[in-house]
Amino acid sequence: MLKVEGLNAGYGSVNILWDIGFTLAEGEIVAILGSNGAGKTTMVRAVTGMLKPSSGSVVFNGEDMAKKNSRVILNSGIVQVPEGRQLFTDMTVLENLQMGAFNKGTKAHFQENLKKAYGWFPKLEERAKQAAGTLSGGEQQMVAVARALIGEPKLLILDEPSLGLAPNIVDDILNVASTLAKNDGISVLLVEQDITKALAAADRGYVIENGRIALEGTSAELQANEHVKKAYLGI
């Protein structure tokens, strides 16, 4: 479903990503792992069209997205939950969720998708009329995920969903992602610094170091890998 090949990208004259390649199948959860500054968010930006790669391809369902703009990419079904959530904090929860229905199709299905989102995250229904900025961090992350789901993703990108959240809330969010992958065939790209949680949820993973793919494998292979254990799991 997604095949990234030979991706090089950066900011101005500074190259950050070097020859990045990875694949993601329908209904699969793939983790992109790496420490602070490794290039994970830059990679997400290159996949979602927010940053134009200097070379390489991002083929999604047979179409190269590398030169398309973010609107076209969004309409193709690649929806991200950005790092830091980026909610409209003065707007209500419901208004934020309405922002997730960005095109004719998703606008037409909004009520139906809203009901599903409330099913995933019942707290959001209770807080529908509350300004998003007054919610707890965990609830705000739920709004960000629900907003993305209202956009009917085929590929859901979660950028650091665990950042600043209590472990049980991270588990809730990853459980929703796993169920969506299994039952609805949504593919999930899980970008994380919390390698333990990410590998527990993902089928496979890629480790990025200094803008390059340093390692790849199934979650079990990466969990057992000596370098991963030493450098990331503190074992």
Which of 13, 36, 111, 183 binds ligand ATP (CB under 6 A)? It is 36
Beta-carbon neighbour count of residue 98 at 10 Å? 16
Helix, strand, coil percent values for the chain (each to nearest 5):
40, 25, 30
Which of 9, 22, 29, 34 binds ligand ATP (CB under 6 A)? It is 34
Which of 2, 29, 38, 176 binds ligand ATP (CB under 6 A)? It is 38
Binding flags for ligand ATP, 95-134, as an x/- string (CB under 6 A)? ----------------------------------------
SS (H, E, C) 153-178: CCEEEEECCCCCCCHHHHHHHHHHHH
CB of 71 to ligand ATP, least distance (A): 21
> Distances in Å between the alpha carbon of 122 and those of 126, 127, 143, 165, 176?
7, 9, 11, 18, 12
Per rule CB under 6 A, is residue 41 in the interface with ligand ATP? yes
**Measured between alpha carbons, how far is 167 from 161 in angstroms, rounded to an integer?**
11
Which of 4, 20, 40, 114 binds ligand ATP (CB under 6 A)? It is 40
Measure the N-to-C terminal CA separation of the chain; round to a whole number of Å. Answer: 35
Q: CB under 6 A: which stretch of 34-42, 94-102, 166-174, 214-222 binds ligand ATP?
A: 34-42
CB of 90 to ligand ATP, least distance (A): 25
Which of 24, 31, 33, 39 binds ligand ATP (CB under 6 A)? It is 39
Q: CB under 6 A: which stretch of 29-37, 142-150, 196-204, 224-232 binds ligand ATP?
A: 29-37
From the list 181, 162, 225, 190, the residue with the least C-alpha distance to 22 is 190
The pair of structure tokens assigned to 228 is 């991963």
**Measured between alpha carbons, how far is 25 from 228 in angstroms, rounded to an integer?**
24
The one-letter amino acid code at 213 reads: I
Judge whether 163 and 83 are in contact, CB under 8 Å.
yes
CB of 146 to ligand ATP, least distance (A): 23
CB of 209 to ligand ATP, least distance (A): 10
Per rule CB under 6 A, is residue 42 in the interface with ligand ATP? yes
Per rule CB under 6 A, is residue 193 in the interface with ligand ATP? yes
Instruction: Return residues touching ligand ATP (CB under 6 A).
Output: 11, 16, 34, 36-42, 83, 193
